[in-house]
């Protein structure tokens, strides 16, 4: 079998997902209010069993899920992905009590999750975060008070709970960070919506002495950075899958348009300049797809070098999607920039993935570090 080709059952599942997204989820997405959590859409994802599948799947299944939904409805894809990003630390490192309280709600589409890592001064440099968790007096090391802020947090301030990363050991870099599960109604926690180029809410969170205890810790105290990186290593290839889904949607639109549109006395597809552009779009999209699948397969197999491969997948796929969508817009002309056109929508959506969960520059740094570490290990 060709490497990374899909089984017939997988291909059929992907087509079912795309159809579900186009016919059922997209209308719900269109009824939502931009900048706010679309709870009916989340409930529909739960009813369809997709939140269950997302939380229980490996990296490859997650990539297929995100790519297929993105081809049919980017809002549905992003809504599902944000639920996974905020909940995966709980799945991987939560206590039985955490799981019993929140997982049934997330799986059913009743609870909204958020991943609170970024700060005003610690976006791409996650190890530089400054939100402090000061020991609570008289708690015998079992309680803290969170003070500081988070920024650019998807689903804030409307989430029901947050996975929050705070510094419990000053001056220790990434080694002194602890992950906490913080319900949205915890005293001292407030949020503000940010006006962003995004269909889903993005906000800032203020922590004014928010109380947390050992029962709120995800994993081990002072080892929360590992919780964050485990989550990002899983989701980075799937961000690439989201990008591939958008690229494939733009490519589909470009093929349809250039095959039917007449100009300069003929059909656009018969112009070599046009057909070569479409060929380049298709080739880059396929290369990105295979790189994403390879990274996901490596993650599922527990192979070494996953951070570097995940970084390659996210980097190449998101950069490729930007190129493919932009080229599709160029081939369509002014009609692609009308509000409501698929490509106008994709043009707005495709920019953010090159920044979040590690900007393209961060991915290049990770790739280079992996290469040089491998060289030193073999020397």
Q: CA-to-CA distance for 371 and 88, rounded, in angstroms? A: 28
Angle at 32 between CA 28 and CA 33, to 5 degrees: 170
SS3 track for 348-373 = HHCCHHHCCCCCHHHHHHHHHHHHHH
Tokens describing residue 338: 């009308």
SS (H, E, C) 22-69: HHHHHHHHHHCCCCCCCHHHHHHHHHCCHHHHHHHCCHHHHHHHHHHH
Contact 254, 217 (CB under 8 A): no
Q: How far apart are CA 351 and CA 201, in angstroms?
A: 16
Contact 113, 165 (CB under 8 A): no
What phi-psi label fits residue 141: left (phi over 0), alpha (psi between -120 and 50 degrees) or beta?
left
Dihedral of alpha carbons 263, 269, 271, 275, sign: positive
- Residue 265 CB neighbours (<10 A): 6
Let me know how many helices (H) and strands (E) the chain has, helices first: 12, 10
- Give the residues across from 202 on adjacent strands: 154
Q: Which of 47, 357, 361, 376 is catalytic?
A: 357
Calpha distance 130→117 (Å, rounded): 10
Catalytic, 67? Answer no
C-alpha dist (Å) from residue 84 to 64, 75, 150, 234, 307: 14, 14, 19, 10, 19
Q: How far apart are the first and last CA of the chain?
A: 36
Tokens 């009308």 appear where?
Answer: 338
Q: Which residues are catalytic?
A: 357
């Amino acid at each position: 079998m060709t490497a990374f080709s899909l089984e017939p059952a997988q291909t059929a599942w992907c087509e079912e997902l795309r159809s579900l997204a186009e016919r059922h989820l997209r209308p719900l997405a269109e009824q939502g209010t931009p900048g706010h959590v679309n709870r009916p859409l989340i409930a529909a994802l739960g009813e369809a069993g997709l939140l269950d599948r997302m939380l229980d799947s490996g990296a490859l299944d997650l990539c297929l899920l995100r790519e297929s939904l993105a081809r049919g409805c980017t809002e549905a894809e992003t809504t599902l992905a944000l639920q996974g990003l905020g909940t995966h630390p709980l799945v991987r490192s939560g206590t039985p009590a955490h799981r019993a309280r929140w997982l049934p709600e997330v799986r059913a589409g009743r609870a909204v999750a958020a991943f609170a890592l970024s700060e005003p001064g610690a976006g791409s440099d996650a190890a530089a975060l400054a939100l402090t968790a000061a020991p609570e007096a008289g708690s015998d090391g079992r309680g803290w008070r969170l003070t500081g802020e988070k920024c650019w947090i998807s689903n804030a301030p409307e989430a029901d709970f947050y996975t929050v990363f705070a510094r419990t050991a000053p001056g220790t870099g990434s080694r002194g960070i602890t992950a906490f599960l913080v319900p949205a109604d915890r005293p001292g926690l407030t949020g503000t919506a940010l006006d962003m180029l995004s269909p889903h809410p993005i906000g800032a969170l203020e922590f004014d002495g928010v109380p947390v205890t050992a029962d709120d810790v995800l994993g081990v105290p002072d080892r929360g950075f590992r919780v964050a990186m485990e989550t990002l290593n899983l989701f980075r290839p799937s961000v690439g899958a989201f990008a591939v889904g958008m690229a494939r949607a733009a490519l589909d639109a470009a093929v349809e348009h250039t095959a039917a549109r007449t100009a300069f006395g003929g059909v656009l597809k018969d112009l070599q300049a046009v057909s070569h552009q479409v060929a380049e779009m298709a080739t880059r999209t396929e290369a990105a797809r295979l790189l994403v699948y390879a990274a996901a397969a490596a993650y599922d197999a527990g192979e070494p070098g996953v951070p570097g491969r995940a970084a390659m997948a996210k980097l190449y796929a998101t950069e490729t999607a930007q190129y493919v969508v932009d080229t599709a817009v160029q081939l369509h002309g002014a009609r692609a920039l009308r509000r409501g056109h698929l490509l106008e929508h994709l043009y707005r959506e495709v920019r953010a993935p090159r920044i979040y969960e590690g900007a393209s520059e961060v991915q290049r740094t990770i790739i280079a570090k992996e290469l040089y570490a491998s060289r030193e290990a073999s020397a």
